[in-house]
Structure 1
Amino acid sequence: MTRWGLLAACALIAAPTTAKAPERPAPKLIVAISVDQFSADLFDEYRPTFTGGLKRIAGGTAFRNGFQAHAATETCPGHSTILTGSFPARTGIIANDWTDQRVARSDKTVYCAEDERVPGSSSSAYTVSPVHLRVETLGEYLTAQRAGSRSVAVAGKDRAAVMMSGHKVDQRWYWDGKKYSTDQQGKAPPKAVTAINNAVAAMIAAPALPLTPPPGCEAKSKVYAVEGGGKAVGNGRFARAAGDARAFRASPAFDGATLALAAGLIGEMGLGKGSQPDLIAIGASATDYVGHTFGTEGEEMCLQMASLDRDLGDFLSYLDAQKIDYAVVLTADHGGNDIPERQRERGIPTAARIDPNFTVTAIGKQIGQKFGLAGPVLWGGSVGDVWLDAAIAPAMRPKVLAAAVAIAKAHPQVAEVFTRSQIERTAVPTGSPVGWTPIQRVRASFDKERSGDFVVVLKPRITPIADTKTYVATHGSLWDYDRRVPILFWRPGMSATQRNDATETVDIMPTLAAMLGLKVDRKVIDGHCLTIEGVACPAD
């Protein structure tokens, strides 16, 4: 079954053009969509080619300079900002995972969406949980203040679904590598989940033929040999061997399945048709997997953008046919950085892969030999948060920290190294994210309980992947190619407004809360309500 068959399985049909409407009450359904790794650069590049759902959504109020303003531009922190209105410094979600040497298991890595207290668990074999999210989401505000409202989340990643829906949710479904699963126990799965899981299983079991690229994508077809693994990318068309679930995940068909499941749940649950408004959060994850596997500027990403545009168009047509009064916001959890091999050809001579010898293990070993220390000395990665080993004596810790910082700073690929004390002395930044300094960006990601003893920042366009056998490109830096994302608000009948001013993903939640007439204490969030058509922002 093709991805179009999945959409048909949920009865997605075309709908008549919606006439422009006068002033209206709050919508009955909020559709919050996060397209994983959908950078503002991708949005700007492909916007002229969009003819489907992305064109329609961009035809409302389009902020092309939205920001995931913090430094830790990863999936979990990014998703934690979208519907909470708060930076990772407040949500507590500092990264996809972090080190906690206090946990009662040999694996000291903690995954952002797990409950590490579960016996026998590890950061890779875990129980999905929102326990680490320290704040409430829009869905939790909605269901607490509007009796009868429902909150639903569907995503290609568990962390996307969890961070956008929070602790209390009516339905939450995410791809677990084989099927769409839930962390909610004791509930019979909706019929839509069973139908989509059966359809996807059949799709994966059969081989997939290569996609036929439109002319614009053919122009991007060029093979690049990637350093560090012998892999070649640039002209892939998503042909897939039978049974290859990993290749399915890194293909346009993945978003088609997720959107089909979202449509099925909307129909089965009657979302948007009750007396009170409902919310569905959707995490479209394929763009991220395509970006990691092939880079952001090849034929593969071109095909992904075209397919996502069509799938979103079918999804919106389904909502139209259901005669639901709905509003859409679309954004991303972070941006992305293309493969350095292609970037150098495109005029970025400094683009490079990280030195494979620059590792936390190597630095720790060097320091251990200098001071006669056993054990790992350092925990974490060579980029981002790094922790000193808890076994190091208090009197020795300043010496170890100074030595580690000096070694990291001396590396030619390192831009900055900030210690915990430097970060703690920095105020959480406010105002336009464009002018934030590197340490201010790091501060917006800093949590006193979870963050490292120091943070390593690579220079722009240094890709922290040396071994490219699996992934060839990534994100996660504090530079604007990873921070800048589109923020698009659309509702049928909304006037087209292009906004070039900088805004932030933390502004989405208070804006939607105002649209719904919900009360949110401004003191417990970081975002501000945006002035857009149809939204009356409350006075601060």
Structure 2
Amino acid sequence: MPMFTRRHLLGLALAAALSACSTTPPPAAAPQPPRPKLIVLVAIDGLPIRQVTGYRDQLAPDGFARFLDHGRWFSDAHYEHGHTVTAAGHSIMLSGAYPQRSGIISNEWRDPATGAPVYNTGDADYTYLDNPTKPLSGTSPRNLKVETLGDVLRTRSPASKVIGISGKDRGAILPAGHKGTAYMYMGETGQFSSSTYYMAALPQWVKDFNAAKPADAFFKKTWAPLLPESAYARSAPDGQPWYLASGNGNRLPAIVGDKMDAPTPRFYENLLASPFGDELTLAFARAAVKNEQLGQRGVQDILSVSLSSHDYVNHAFGPESRLSHDHLLHLDRHLQAFFQFLDQEVGAGNYVLALTADHGFTDSPEWSASKGLDAGRFASAPSLAIVNTALAARFGVDKLAWGFSAAGLLLNEQLAAEKGLNFADVQAAAREELLKLPGVAAVFTREQLLGNDTTTPYLEAMRKSFDPTRAAQLQIVLKPNWIQSYRPTGSSHGSPYEVDNHVPLLFWGPGYVGQGEVKTRVQMADLAPTLAGIAGLPAPAQAQGKDLQLRP
């Protein structure tokens, strides 16, 4: 056995102690990705993706093309709910929650208990500031049952600002959420205002903006085609018999305010159905960025700008029209100017852009019919009369159906009970009568919508639109190329078909977002979780989508 000196033993002990005390240093924490100072959501009301890609060769270099050429964009993005309308789409964008969770089943609906009309952002407890407030006006987000990305941000950072701006109340209020601030265009005065839900009085900068009467600057201004006539060969010519002839007329060039002596409420309303409505909305958005110092105060902010004019144009003339085609090109140039303003004011490396739409658009039925397709208009009033007449003949009770509500037919369940009727029998009979009507493809009962059948076509989509506390008992799906229409002109949307649910989903932001087209199918409920990931925030609690992981 070897002999050790005292010094040797002490040396061994010291070495062992030092070895025990030394540890491998922990790996350095992964660097956190940069976070944008400002998130900007641009929503184009009523814009199908097919119009963006179909006119790509005519776009300006830095409008939509900023996303297509230098951003990350999804060419197969869809809403997965069945009733594709403005309020539902805007409620999904920054919440990630479909109407089955958010409660925003449509622009308006009937109260199932009383049959009374309900507006999606209506709240009689609040009024517009410095402007008249009509019954059912949109004044608060009370009906929105879920939180938005802005609510998540302001809960964590009360100093952050979340501002929603739109030509429509619902386009401003729903993306702004419960803790943001909404400003919307007033069709009677040409001003932008807010409601007493958000504040007691308008900020001075808003008063100054309105005092300058910027809407009046467009009085008698001409909407002229942006390109030579030959550039519109892929669109339907002006003046078609199914185009709405009132408003600004149905041909270009068109004078906004023609045959008027001065700006009137009718002029202010007509302004929205022209390129000048978006131009005015973006002017207000610039004022908000400057005066609220969005993205420039050391905290993260969110700005949502919903541009409404394309929807009005498509409703009046259809997306197949030259007027819609030309409107998109004007909009593209307005977006280019707005993006370049943000580059200068906020800094191109300090913000992220996302652009989408609340729904697509179906071609006008007459245009589709001219192409040999089965197409038509489903008129609510005569259809209701037919169903009620049939139900009265069968059950001996008048007006068992209250009326159409959102995507469905609302039956008077209380009246059926008072008359001793079996409601299941009434519902089955009403469904049978609806299926006889021209243009009706499917009718789903409340029991089907609350069930778990995932194989019946369009049932799952309608289920995502169905809130049993607000929706009608019977939900209706029209045939392709058919629209629900209260007038014999123009077109609409609201179906579960691709024409209405396939929309742009475009992102741009150097350092935050990669580049290139993504052809994988995604859903619009992914937008809110994706922006949350970029912002370094948790996704809204009721979001049904996922983070698309755009970071480069």
TM norm. shorter chain > 0.5: yes
CA–CA distance in structure 2, aligned partners of residues 300 and 168 of structure 1: 38
Matches within 5 A, 1:345-356: 345=370, 347-354=371-378
Aligned in 2, Cα 1:270/1:328: closer, same or farther, shift over 3 Å?
Answer: same
Q: CA deviation at 1:530?
A: 0.3
Q: Does residue 148 in structure 1 map to residue 173 in structure 2?
A: no
Shift of 1:504: 1.4
Q: Give the match for residue 313 of structure 2.
A: 290
Is the CA contact (8 Å cut-off) linking 2:225 and 2:252 kept in structure 1?
no
Query: Which secondary structure state, in structure 2, belongs to the residue aligned with residue 322 of structure 1?
Result: helix
CA RMSD of aligned residues (A): 2.8
Distance 1:118 1:315, change over 3 A: closer
Q: Does 1:370 align with 2:394?
A: yes
CA distance in 1, matches of 2:200, 2:57: 47
Which residue, out of 34, 39, 42, partners 1:25?
Answer: 34
Higher mean C-alpha deviation, range 228-237 or range 511-520: 228-237
The worse-fitting range, judged by mean Cα deviation, of 80-89 and 175-184 is 175-184
Q: Is the 8 A contact 2:107 2:406 kept in 1?
A: no
Return 5+ residue gaps in structure 1 as ranges.
Answer: 1-21, 430-434, 535-540
Work out the CA distance in 2 between the residues paired with 1:209 and 1:353. Answer: 32
Q: Which residue of the other structure, out of 503, 506, 511, is the alignment partner of 2:522? A: 503
Counterparts of residues 246-261 of structure 1 (less than 5 Å): 246-261=269-284
Tell me, yes or no, if structure 1 residue 198 matches structure 2 residue 208: no
- Which residue, 168, 174, 179 being the options, matches 2:179? 168
Letter paired with 2:226: P
1:134 to 141, 145, 152: 145
Give the equivalent residue in structure 2 for 1:212.
225
Judged with a 3 Å threshold, the aligned counterparts in structure 2 of structure 1 residues 307 and 192 are, in CA distance, closer, same or farther, namely farther
Q: Which residue of 1 aligns with 2:502?
A: 484
- How far residue 499 of structure 1 moved from its aligned partner, in angstroms, is 1.1
Tell me if structure 2 keeps the 8 A contact 1:98–1:380: no
Number of residue pairs the alignment of both structures matches: 496
Partner of 1:77: 88
Aligned residue in 1 for 2:534 = 515
- The answer to whether residue 433 in structure 2 is matched with residue 411 in structure 1 is no
- SS at 1:460's partner residue? coil
Tell me, in whole angstroms, the C-alpha distance in 2 between the residues paired with 1:186 and 1:382. 34
Aligned AA (1:337):
T
1:238 to 251, 254, 267: 254
Question: Does structure 1 residue 56 correspond to structure 2 residue 66?
Answer: yes
Closer/same/farther in 2, CA of residues 165 and 388 from structure 1, 3 Å limit: same
Aligned equivalent of 1:112: 120
The superposition leaves residues 134-189 of structure 1 with CA deviations (integer Å, 9 ceiling, x where unpaired) of: 011111101111242111111111011111011111x3201121321101331333
| Amino acid in the other structure paired with 1:180 | F
Q: Does the CA contact (< 8 Å) of 1:58 and 1:490 recur in 2?
A: no
- Tell me whether 1:458 sits opposite 2:469 in the alignment: no
Flag the 1:516–1:356 CA change in 2: closer, same or farther, 3 A: closer
1:78-119 Cα shifts (integer Å, max 9, x gaps): 10000001111111111111111546xxx7110001125779
1:299–1:520 Cα change, 3 Å: closer
Displacement after TM superposition at 1:57 (Å): 2.5
Q: Shift in Å at residue 497 of structure 1?
A: 0.8
- In structure 2, C-alpha distance between the alignment counterparts of 1:440 and 1:507, rounded to whole Å: 18
Alpha-carbon deviation of 1:126?
Answer: 3.1
Question: What amino acid maps onto 1:33 in structure 2?
Answer: V
- Give, in whole Å, the separation in 1 of the partners of 2:320 and 2:465: 28
- Structure-2 change in CA distance of 1:403 and 1:158 (3 Å): same
Q: How far has the Cα of 1:518 moved from its partner?
A: 1.0
The answer for the alignment partner of 2:194 in structure 1 is 182
The alignment status of 1:338 with 2:342, answered yes or no, reads no
SS at match of 2:220: coil
Greater mean alpha carbon deviation, residues 351-360 or residues 305-314: 351-360
Q: How many angstroms apart in 2 are the aligned matches of 1:341 and 1:449?
A: 37
Give the aligned partner of residue 6 of structure 1.
none
Aligned residue number for residue 407 of structure 2: 384
Structure 2 gaps of 5+ residues are 1-30
Residues 1:174 and 1:217: Cα distance change in structure 2 (over 3 Å)? farther
Structure 2 CA distance for aligned equivalents of residues 235 and 446 of structure 1: 40
Change (3 A) 1:355 1:511: closer
Q: Are the aligned partners of 1:383 and 1:456 in contact in 2 as well (CA < 8 Å)? A: no
SS in 2 for 1:380: strand
Q: 8 Å contact 2:226–2:326 — kept in the other structure?
A: yes
Task: Label 1:117 to 1:278 Cα distance change in 2 as closer, same or farther (>3 A).
Answer: closer
- The alpha-carbon deviation at position 203 of structure 1 amounts to 2.6
Residue by residue over 1:261-295, the C-alpha shift from the partner in whole angstroms, topping out at 9 and shown as x without a partner, is: 11111011111112111100111111100000111
255 and 414 in structure 1: CA distance in 2 versus 1, 3 angstrom threshold: same
Structure 1 residues 123 and 202 mapped into 2: Cα distance closer, same or farther (>3 Å)?
Answer: closer
Q: Letter of the aligned partner of 1:110 in structure 2?
A: V
What is the distance in 1 between the residues matched to 2:381 and 2:373? Answer: 21
Check 1:499–1:238 CA distance in 2 against 1; reply closer, same or farther (3 A cut): farther
Q: Could you tell me how far apart the structure 2 residues matched to 1:31 and 1:146 are?
A: 17
Give the CA deviation at 1:466. 5.2
The CA deviation at 1:24 is 5.7
Match of residue 45, structure 2, among 29, 36, 55: 36
Query: What letter matches 1:529 in structure 2?
Result: D
Q: Which runs of at least 4 in structure 1 moved beyond 6 Å after TM superposition?
A: 228-234
Q: Structure 1 CA distance, aligned partners of 2:345 and 2:54?
A: 32
**Percent identity of the aligned residues?**
29
How far apart, in 2, do the equivalents of 1:209 and 1:174 lie?
A: 24
Helix, strand or coil: the match of 1:455? strand
Contact 2:82 2:494 in 1 (8 A): yes
Q: Write the letter of the residue equivalent to 1:417.
A: V
Distance 1:117 1:145, change over 3 A: closer
Q: Indicate if the aligned counterparts of 2:362 and 2:493 stay in contact, CA closer than 8 A.
A: yes
Question: Is 2:328 aligned against 1:305?
Answer: yes
Does the CA-based 8 Å contact 2:110-2:405 persist in structure 1?
Answer: no
TM, length-normalised to structure 1: 0.85
Amino acid at match of 2:221: A
Stretch of structure 1 that moved more, 81-90 or 45-54: 45-54
- Residue 250 (structure 1) shift: 0.3
**Compared with structure 1, are the counterparts of its residues 217 and 154 closer, same or farther at alpha carbon in structure 2 (3 Å cutoff)?**
farther
Q: Give the distance between the partners of 1:233 and 1:507, measured in 2 at CA.
A: 39
